[in-house]
Chains A and B, each alone.
Chain A
Amino acid sequence: MAATTKLTLWPKLSQQLIRLINTQPALHSNFRSSKVVEPLDQYPEVEIVHNAPEWKYVERLLPPRIVPQPKPKESYPSGWQPQTANASERSYYIARTKNHMVPVYLHTRFRGQRRLTVVRRVQGDIWALERDLRAVVESARNGKLCASRVNELSGQIYFHGDYVDVLRDHLKSQGF
């Protein structure tokens, strides 16, 4: 009741509103807007084909369901190397991620002023790995000491500073 009074009070506005509604496409997405099913002989003939040969053109466009294995090659232009390390060689082991990458990351804190290098997915003797990695980082800093933190329970090592490339290259050279 209030709506109709509003419409008559502002005829120009109501005309504009009706024009707006008519220019928008009608929505057929609700139950009451869809037609009732008619007898099937009124619809055109349909041939059901199982496993159509054309389906392969659709399949090759779909993304893979699981992360694929990388193709073995001599060398990769990106610098990626497959894992060659055996867990029984050394007292520690660093597992690759699901996407076959080395698990070394950069965390930034305090609005980018503090940079931390994180090595994750460490198994085995994490203290031995920490000693080896700290030696690598300190040689990259020309002998200056580097602060580090070991979280033994979750298998993570944190280094102060941005040494992601240094540690990634080192781990790749070790075969991890």
Chain B
Amino acid sequence: MLKLLNKTKQLVYPAIRSISNNSSVLASAQQSNEAVESSDTSASPEIPQRPALILPQNYAEYTPVNKNSARQAWIENTDAVKERKVGIIELHPDVFAAQPRVDIIQENIEWQRKYRYVSFAHTKTRAEVRGGGRKPWPQKGGGRARHGSIRSPLFKGGGIAHGPRSPTTHFYMLPFYKRVLGLTSTLSVKLAQDDFHVIENVDIPTRDEQFIKDLIAERNWGPSVLIVDKNDIFPENICYATDNLGYVNLMPSFSLNTYSMLKHDTLVLTIDAVKHLEERLLYQLHRNDAAKTGGKFKLDQV
């Protein structure tokens, strides 16, 4: 346990330098771009060569908690089965390198399972069981125990005193910041465990589901893949391709949740989704009126 936590602690990444701080990285990237543009296309002629996509992070608005733990992720292509790195994106450490609070992830999973659950178990009380309106025998004189009805809980076949009553809701709301922390912890865990990929966009060349299967096999993505884009409307091709595959699921960024992230082995986000999630989560982590998120649950409030 200690070894696991020490591995995920946010220190000793000496080789990683923040892209936005380091101008030489950007300069060398520009040089490599020129080299790419000038050289002959050694890759197949179908894939056009474009300059590499370098997306640095702007730390001016939200200063990270731990400035040393900048994370970077490759931006991968979706236009071919074979993996090709299209660029690099710098991820904000408060969202993607947060302390992985395993206890909070567990609470989130438990909440997601339980808050919608309605129990339909039902037992009859002594008033509902058929019969038992009459006093079975007189109060005194029989030598037997005194009883008022044959359907009291003491009797075989009688009603149940404190049994389940259908329908019973198990609704409760987890505190807002536990849910935010659950998302940041799970994203950090996914990145730390190599189950996180960033793709440029969700456009694929064919409607064939074999393309997706080959892509997953080629890149060694997990058995199940969750593809997240910013909006809920996805391009046609990916919708047709993943329609019959139960283990590849598409999701908009506003639906992202801890349970789905853990259920699917690999998490794939588009650049738009990454930017949107970072912006929303960082706002919630730094907002001034956080006390408003506490209090009684209202239906029109997060």
Report if A16 contacts B (CB, 8 A). Answer: no
Q: Which B153-190 residues have a C-beta within 8 angstroms of A?
A: none
Contact partner of B65 (CB less than 8 A), chosen from A67, A86, A95, A153, is A95
The answer to whether A93 touches B6, judged by C-beta atoms less than 8 angstroms apart, is no
Q: Is B197 an interface residue (CB 8 A)?
A: no
- B5 CB–A CB distance under 8 Å: yes
Of A2-10, A42-50, A58-66, A160-168, the stretch lying at the interface with chain B is A58-66
Interface residues of A (CB under 8 A from B): 63-67, 69, 86-88, 91, 93, 95-96, 98, 121, 123-125, 127, 152-155
A64's closest neighbor in chain B, by CB?
B288
A155 and B99 form a contact (CB under 8 A)? yes
| Choice from A64, A65, A87 contacting B69 with Cβ under 8 Å | A87
For A98, the closest partner residue in chain B by CB is B286
Check B210 for interface membership: any CB of A closer than 8 A.
no
Contact B288 A93 (CB under 8 A): no
> Dominant SS at the B interface?
loop
A88 engages B68 (CB within 8 Å) = yes
Q: Which residues on B sit within 8 Å (CB–CB) of A98?
A: 285-286, 290
User: What's the Cα separation between A32 and B2 when bound, in Å?
Assistant: 67
Q: Which residues of B contact A123 (CB under 8 A)?
A: 9-10, 66, 99
Q: Chain B 279-301 against A: per-residue CB contact (8 Å), 1 yes, 0 no?
A: 00001011111100000000000
CA A64 – CA B286 in complex, angstroms?
A: 11
Contact A87 B10, beta carbon cutoff 8 Å = yes
**Cα distance A153–B2 in the bound complex, in angstroms:** 9
Contact assessment for A66 and B287 in the assembled complex, using a CB-CB cutoff below 8 Å: yes
Q: How far is the CA of A153 from the CA of B4 in the complex (A)?
A: 11
Q: Once the chains bind, are B66 and A95 in contact (CB under 8 Å)?
A: yes
